[in-house]
């Protein structure tokens, strides 16, 4: 089933301009995903389907690329975001305990979100020698401990913080 964007939404017009600029070339997929995320704030599934159709790519491939890279988000943004690196070096140094602590303390739903916080894990955040890594919004904490997770969640939940 082909997706037709609403013509009244200026965000779709911006995406259409980017699609036109790349002339339907499949190798522009990642750049188009960046454009779509900039325009929409995240990558809605209907937009992924639209991009797949425009590039004549299988929807599974577009979704696979969008879900593989931690820079892309498939969910609406929340006020705060916490990311725990689960790469090999971080995992060996205790990242699983950080993630468990975060789930317990934020009382997240199964998918790791609350009304104001999105909790997620990443394949690698790129500083393997300093792991485990914890990112809270745009701040990175190296050599993170479970106490860092607890403190960060307390700060995020503080209405005056």
Per-residue pLDDT of the chain (161 residues; tens, 9 = 90+): 556 665 567 888 899 999 999 988 999 999 999 999 999 999 999 999 999 999 999 999 999 999 988 789 898 888 888 999 999 999 999 999 999 999 998 887 656 778 788 888 888 888 999 999 999 998 999 999 999 999 999 888 776 65
- pLDDT at res. 56: 94
Residues facing residue 119 across a β-bridge: 82
- pLDDT at res. 49: 95
- pLDDT at res. 110: 54
- pLDDT at res. 76: 84
**What single-letter DSSP state applies at residue 130?**
G
DSSP strand pairing (139-141 vs 134-136)? antiparallel
State the helix-helix crossing angle for 45-55 and 29-40, rounded to 10 degrees: 150
- Rounded to two decimals, what is the model's pTM? 0.66
- pLDDT at res. 111: 61
């Amino acid at each position: 089933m082909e997706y037709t964007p609403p013509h009244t939404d200026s965000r779709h017009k911006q995406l259409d301009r980017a699609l036109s600029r790349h002339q339907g070339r499949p190798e522009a997929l990642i750049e188009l995903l960046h454009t779509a995320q900039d325009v929409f704030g995240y990558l809605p599934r209907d937009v992924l389907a639209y991009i797949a159709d425009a590039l004549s790519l299988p929807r599974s491939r577009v979704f696979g690329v969008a879900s593989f890279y931690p820079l892309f988000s498939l969910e609406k943004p929340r006020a705060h975001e916490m990311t725990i690196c689960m790469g090999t070096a971080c995992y060996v140094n205790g990242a699983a305990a950080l993630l468990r602590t975060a789930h317990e303390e934020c009382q997240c739903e199964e998918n790791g979100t609350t009304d104001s916080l999105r909790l997620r894990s990443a394949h690698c955040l790129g500083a393997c020698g300093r792991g485990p890594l914890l990112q809270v919004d745009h701040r990175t904490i190296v050599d993170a401990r479970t106490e860092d997770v607890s403190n960060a969640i307390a700060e995020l939940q503080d209405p005056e913080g």
